[in-house]
Structure 1
Amino acid sequence: MKNYLYNVINYLVKLESKIAFYPTLMSLGGLFFAFIMYYLESLGISSYLIEHAPLLVVNDTETARSLLTTFVAGLISIMVFSFSLVMILLNQASSNFSPRVLPGLISNRRHQVILGIYISSILYSIFTLVAIEPNGNEYQLPGFSVLLAIVFMTVCLGAFIYFIHSISQAIQVNNILDKIFSTAITRLETLIDAEKESKTDFPDTSNWQVLKSHKSGYFQDLSSNNLINIAKENQCKIEVIPVKGTYVLKGAPIVKYSIDLDEDFVKQIAASFLYSKSELIEDNYVLAFKQITEIALKAMSPGINDPGTAINAIDYLTDLFLLRMHKNDRSCYFYENMPIVKIGTVTFSELLYSVMAALRTYCKHDFVIVTKLFGMLKHLLENQTKYSEQYKKPILQEVENLYQDTIKTHSNSTDLKRIEFLYNELI
């Protein structure tokens, strides 16, 4: 039951990243508010305000109809234009940067709220228009509701102006990079703070029982509390094999456990895995490295040729790698200072190689970018953490790989001397 609730909560959390989530909630709110005002009008709120505060009431039926009709038509036009801008933004981001950045742009809460303001105001205006009696007089006309419609229309105009400003900022590559970077930093800091030191190594799992996946999809998240409770209850240890963000095929091994477990517990373990067809940085910081790397590669493509963006991307990657060096390659959940659940993770060596392999392949012809990559590796070597010695070897290997690729690509003697100098400075 707990695991079922966890999956339901997780599903609702993932819904927040959908572009229609907040607009749907706010449109329901606008509809509900329209019925509240209809009820208040039936109690005579407009007639009361006509006597005590006539300025707060629109007391002319034709004026009210004209205003509300104009509001509905105008708001629909504004909403269509705003949705068109969002689609253009997504298309341009996919073409110029990377398709992977789309989920982050779609989940922009400010844009969702603005679209929600439009839809809720439209629904409110429509139902208020319907509430006007054909032969309206000062007691039948919902004059105060019409005044509120004017207020909502003013809010929508302000929201539209802000939307134009926000959409123009959201499409800028620096802002996209900064958002990806900030989200990844938050996720990494959370993981680092949650790490516990333990001198007890996790036992060999080669002979343990294996649980295979019952479906395919991206392994997005895990009910860690459920696995910990199962491990404590059965006094066993569990290893999660796939890494978050990887695509798990049906029938692939996903879990190893040290003792035979009842079928109910095995089903609970399988239900602890949350699959999805998309990825979010909030769940997997490695995706940030992929996105920033892809933006750098796209910037260096012949069609775009923007080395400045690639340099900015490398700066962000450097900062992320420096923080990643504070995290251990092994991720475990502990109980009484003993590791009972081991989580599959992307090691620092694999992460660095995947990023550098792509950058070396597509950017080695640009001497400025090569110099920047040598500078990144230099910063990583000089960074002092408790895992520095552990990560020193893969960094030096990438220095060697970068050197070998660049000396074969460049022919200018001055460039080659500079590359030789940078290489000798690091080894």
Structure 2
Amino acid sequence: MALAPFRRTIRVLRGFLTIPGAISLSGLLVAIATWHLEACLHDEHAGLVPAFLEVQADTAEAVFTVSAGASMSALVMVYSIVLLVYTMAASAIGPRLLQRFGDDRVSQVAVGSLGATFLYALQSLWMMDSDGSTDLTVAVGAAYMIVSVLLLLLFVQRVSTRVTIDQEAAEIARALDRQIDNAIARSTPILSSELVLPEGDERKVHAPVDGYVDAIEPGQLLTAARAAGATVFYDVQPGDFVIKGAPIATVFNDPDQALDRAVTDALPLLSVRTPEGDLRFSVNLLVEIALRALSPGVNDTFTAIACVDRLSAALATARAERLSTGVFLDSDGVARVVSPTTTADTLFIEAFPPLRRAARRNGLMSLALERAIARMIRIAEPDQREAMFDELRLLAEEVSASDQLEADKEELLARIDTCLELADRPSA
């Protein structure tokens, strides 16, 4: 937990700064190490290098000059492509996806590799001695150039797929699946609403700054709360925005106020939302793509349907594994840190009502929503279906109030009624 502030700083500085910068600077270190290694082997390696690999000083200088110029030109081209993709993504898919493009590892490594090739060639030119051997230095530089060309090809292929909306929706869905799997691993079968507030001294802890709740990191707080015999109930959850001075938690049985620092440290507040500990973030991204696709200016129903299909699959997994986050137990199994619980129902309510309202006059989208909800109902346990049945009833009201053709409305309403019949069947 001591590294938590550092990790939050790295999150803010990520994108095309941290990883590409580190890879680029490694080119300088490799160039210096290679030069020293070759100097140490100067008297021995001449006979070990085949004749066709021996390089004269003037040739090595030309190679590094071309390498530096070509890698910098390629780096400029890569950044130009990235800016173009950003512009297209912001207008066609959604501005909140730009962070995902900046976090793409292939793009980061490709940019870093070109930067490392440039700095390696520059440093090698600086240290090169006309009387010294350059065979090993040129060989390593050639390896840098080969890797950079391959990564550049991979970058172009990657970018060509990232601008495809369906592909990006699939990437977001896979990220959501990973987040749900991680959340399920930390789930407890206890809902925060079921816990009884402890008796004793209580007080409020207030937010030190404005920002979005990035995650709840209870490790150090759990230990401190257990030692003090205290309990912390957070009023906010990941994804919420709080303002400075607003109450964020209630602490019970900590009269000495020893936990205040740990309470705020366990709740990092950032200037922007990130998907790190916020399940709703990726859900909202898929909803945003779908709503933008359903807007009159875009009118791309099939993209919206793809987002709904992906959401239904992710939420079905959350229901099957009975996702329940927000209650953190100490080593004795006692609930010490509590925040509002996130379940499959809360994610479902976050996603489907906005899509239903946007699909009111779109029969194809309404049908897709019915199919998605029906799929989830069929594999859910009887005690997990109520929220989905309620949404189907509201969908039926939206369809009835729409201006679609009567025949189309009757067909869709019949499908909804068939699914709602499951609500009237007694549980097995």
Give me the TM-score of the superposition, normalised by structure 2.
0.89
Which amino acid is 2:37 matched to? L
Classify 1:242/1:362 alpha carbon distance in 2 versus 1 (closer, same or farther; 3 Å).
same
Q: How does 1:20-419 map to 2 (within 5 A)?
A: 20-45=17-42, 48-55=44-51, 57-133=53-129, 136=130, 139-197=131-189, 201-204=194-197, 208-325=202-319, 326-329=321-324, 331-335=326-330, 336-346=332-342, 348-385=344-381, 388-389=382-383, 391-419=384-412
8 Å contact from structure 1 (residues 104, 280) kept in 2? no
Work out the CA distance in 2 between the residues paired with 1:357 and 1:256. 31
What are the Cα deviations for residues 63-105 of structure 1, in whole angstroms up to 9, with x where unaligned? 2222211111111111111111112222212211122222222
Partner of 1:5: 3
Classify 1:40/1:408 alpha carbon distance in 2 versus 1 (closer, same or farther; 3 Å).
same
Q: Secondary structure at the match of 2:336?
A: strand
Q: Secondary structure at the match of 2:412?
A: helix
Partner of 2:417: 424
Q: Secondary structure at the match of 1:332?
A: strand
**1:329 Cα deviation (Å)?**
4.9
Instruction: Structure 1 unaligned segments of length 5 or more: list them.
Output: none
8 Å contact from structure 2 (residues 235, 247) kept in 1? yes
8 Å contact from structure 1 (residues 23, 112) kept in 2? yes
8 Å contact from structure 1 (residues 49, 56) kept in 2? no
Work out the CA distance in 2 between the residues paired with 1:101 and 1:204. 40
User: In the comparison of the two structures, how many residue pairs are matched?
Assistant: 416
Classify 1:41/1:237 alpha carbon distance in 2 versus 1 (closer, same or farther; 3 Å).
same
**In the alignment, is residue 18 of structure 1 matched against residue 15 of structure 2?**
yes
Which amino acid is 1:8 matched to? F
* Alignment RMSD (CA, Å): 2.4
**1:31 Cα deviation (Å)?**
0.5
Classify 1:18/1:199 alpha carbon distance in 2 versus 1 (closer, same or farther; 3 Å).
closer
Classify 1:320/1:95 alpha carbon distance in 2 versus 1 (closer, same or farther; 3 Å).
same
Classify 1:125/1:353 alpha carbon distance in 2 versus 1 (closer, same or farther; 3 Å).
same
8 Å contact from structure 1 (residues 363, 370) kept in 2? yes
Work out the CA distance in 2 between the residues paired with 1:162 and 1:143. 29
Work out the CA distance in 1 between the residues paired with 2:182 and 2:403. 42
Classify 1:303/1:285 alpha carbon distance in 2 versus 1 (closer, same or farther; 3 Å).
same
Work out the CA distance in 1 between the residues paired with 2:53 and 2:412. 77
**1:409 Cα deviation (Å)?**
1.5
Q: Secondary structure at the match of 1:264?
A: coil
Work out the CA distance in 1 between the residues paired with 2:191 and 2:172. 34
Deviates further, 318-327 or 110-119: 318-327
Classify 1:56/1:234 alpha carbon distance in 2 versus 1 (closer, same or farther; 3 Å).
farther
Classify 1:199/1:284 alpha carbon distance in 2 versus 1 (closer, same or farther; 3 Å).
closer
Instruction: Structure 2 unaligned segments of length 5 or more: list them.
Output: 421-428
Which amino acid is 2:413 matched to? E
**1:198 Cα deviation (Å)?**
5.4
Classify 1:338/1:260 alpha carbon distance in 2 versus 1 (closer, same or farther; 3 Å).
closer
8 Å contact from structure 2 (residues 318, 343) kept in 1? no
Give me the TM-score of the superposition, normalised by structure 1.
0.90
Deviates further, 296-305 or 349-358: 349-358
8 Å contact from structure 1 (residues 216, 250) kept in 2? yes
8 Å contact from structure 1 (residues 170, 176) kept in 2? yes
8 Å contact from structure 2 (residues 56, 134) kept in 1? no
What are the Cα deviations for residues 246-300 of structure 1, in whole angstroms up to 9, with x where unaligned? 1111111111111233233212222222111223334212111111111111222
Partner of 2:425: none
Classify 1:191/1:151 alpha carbon distance in 2 versus 1 (closer, same or farther; 3 Å).
closer
**1:231 Cα deviation (Å)?**
1.8
Classify 1:49/1:302 alpha carbon distance in 2 versus 1 (closer, same or farther; 3 Å).
same
Q: Secondary structure at the match of 1:344?
A: strand
Deviates further, 213-222 or 261-270: 261-270
Which amino acid is 1:147 matched to? A
Deviates further, 310-319 or 191-200: 191-200
**1:17 Cα deviation (Å)?**
4.1
